[in-house]
Structure 1
């Protein structure tokens, strides 16, 4: 009888170990053989993105995703610099022509009447978005692209336009602060952590949580070393990218476009 129990126990141990090993192997294969994926996104075509961020990323061989609003000065006045950034492998994403936001929501008194997304028709925002795609194609020559909702807003006064732009983009980034688990990612509204004043240690801790949960984490930056009221210090940003570079064997740092294409392949 004892022999039978020993055999059964050994069998259960083997099965459990095999299941654990298979689960660990599958988890590590989710993100190009690494524990987690990190996407660094930067909104609003700021000068600091070109002057501070691109050189810092390039020093480590990392690539970022830059969401440009085409009418902003940082877009119009630095076309050649954005073209060079694209040539280096950074993604240029769509953030509309004029960056309209919904003034009917709380805390939106700063939104001007002519830039109030709540007063837009869906046809208007679609024209803005598609014209911005044309602008971006003149910079990088690409057809595939991702989108970032301005202020995270997904609707005009006529209702949601999320489904209307589904065919225009591989994915669209939202603003809800949450990790993205590969089987549950909504590519129409990818979650991201909006950063404002966090320390380098806090940014790294978010990445460590993504590693523990085998998740995709998307960072949403505006100012990096200034130029925007939503800002992160150069030191904090540098600590984050240093950590990503030092752990490249376990962290896949990529663009939103490449991460979204990978997610699509997995989900299909």
Structure 2
């Protein structure tokens, strides 16, 4: 090989290096800059009245974490089924939404729904019962879990350890942006939103784009309906930004993103092994 060809080959390899690295970094995000997951907790009326129509209008899909015992599930069963048919995930937020009443600021926890009084087997059984209910609604078997109140343990034992075969992943409540390798699929980071501006929401997305990371939003009320709330206009502006930049941002339900991350981590583990 002559000197000119060697130099040309070396230049080509140098140019290909960063592109290959970038593609590997972003491959779990469908070869886009980042992934954004929009999650909505508690199965409340505004999910169906405000959030789902806003997403549908822009052909975006989200994850709705349903409490099985919520009257809004029973009363609006067909609407949840139709939402699932349009590509939204019906996630599992437990049957009774038990929270640890022994922690500070938990006066809202009733004796019947106090996770600190649960056994691990009860928590596991109720989560599985909710899966049965959700499967009856949407006909699906793959879905994700969201910890009620972000509580992970009962008597120091992580109850989700017994549920890992029942779910693709579980979402927590700790804010953070993570690369595919950093994501803990048993406790995925998320940003809980309560009153923040559209600028704040969009800035988080821009940071995820720059760092090629996963960004999960955790909403409750959208335009009311819950003490934790995001303004309708702010929510709409966020969705419009995501839609306007969809060539760079992968917006998908949690179950799809988690499946991609799981495959990525398994592949990376095999390569290291």
Please indicate the TM-score interval, normalised by the length of the shorter structure: over 0.9
Q: 2:167 aligns with which of 161, 166, 169?
A: 169
Q: 2:121 aligns with which of 116, 120, 123?
A: 123
Measured after TM superposition, the shift of residue 17 of structure 1 is: 4.1
Find the counterpart in structure 1 of residue 205 from structure 2. 207
Find the counterpart in structure 2 of residue 54 from structure 1. 52
Q: Deviations over 1:192-245 (max 9, x none)?
A: 000000111110000110001111111000000001000000000000100010
SS of the residue corresponding to residue 74 of structure 1 reads helix
Q: 1:242 aligns with which of 240, 243, 254?
A: 240
Find the counterpart in structure 1 of residue 154 from structure 2. 156
Find the counterpart in structure 2 of residue 262 from structure 1. 260
Moved more, 100-109 or 154-163: 154-163
Structure 1, unpaired ranges of 5+? 1-8
- In 1: Cα distance, 2:12 partner to 2:78 partner: 60
Is 1:87 the counterpart of 2:92? The answer is no
Find the counterpart in structure 1 of residue 270 from structure 2. none
Find the counterpart in structure 1 of residue 141 from structure 2. 143
Find the counterpart in structure 1 of residue 39 from structure 2. 41
Q: Is the 8 A contact 2:124 2:160 kept in 1?
A: no
- In 2: Cα distance, 1:29 partner to 1:155 partner: 33
Measured after TM superposition, the shift of residue 15 of structure 1 is: 6.0
Q: Deviations over 1:150-181 (max 9, x none)?
A: 00001123621121111110000001100121
- In 1: Cα distance, 2:10 partner to 2:135 partner: 58
SS of the residue corresponding to residue 181 of structure 2 reads helix
State how 1:20-31 maps to structure 2 within 5 Å.
20-31=18-29
- TM-score, with structure 2 as normaliser: 0.91
Task: Tell me how large the CA RMSD over aligned residues is.
Answer: 2.0
Measured after TM superposition, the shift of residue 19 of structure 1 is: 2.9
- In 1: Cα distance, 2:161 partner to 2:155 partner: 15
Q: Is the 8 A contact 2:66 2:90 kept in 1?
A: yes
- In 2: Cα distance, 1:155 partner to 1:42 partner: 22
- TM-score, with structure 1 as normaliser: 0.93
Is 1:253 the counterpart of 2:251? The answer is yes
Aligned residues: 263
Is 1:111 the counterpart of 2:109? The answer is yes
